[in-house]
Amino acid sequence: MARVTFSEGEREQLRRERIEYPHPRVQLRMEVLWLISCSQSYSSALSSAPLAGVSDATVDRYVALYREGGIERLKQFE
């Protein structure tokens, strides 16, 4: 999978909202994307998935959501 890139503003928002956002599922999504933003590559980010307590498939879904609509998309539920 191609590398995911984040602006400094997005990284800061992910760092903050992974703790402060009121919905726990959104917090988890933010945590996963924040871990990816701290990694050197997507493959090394997958090795961080267990830190967040999620599977590789869940990481893939969260990344797909982010690519669809950025951080705001992570806050939406179907």
The whole-angstrom separation of Cα 70 and Cα 60 is 14
> What is the Cα Rg of the chain in Å?
11
Across the chain, which has 78 residues, the per-10-residue mean pLDDT values are: 83 96 95 84 68 85 93 93
Residue 3 has a pLDDT of 75
Residue 22 has a pLDDT of 96
The whole-angstrom separation of Cα 22 and Cα 55 is 23
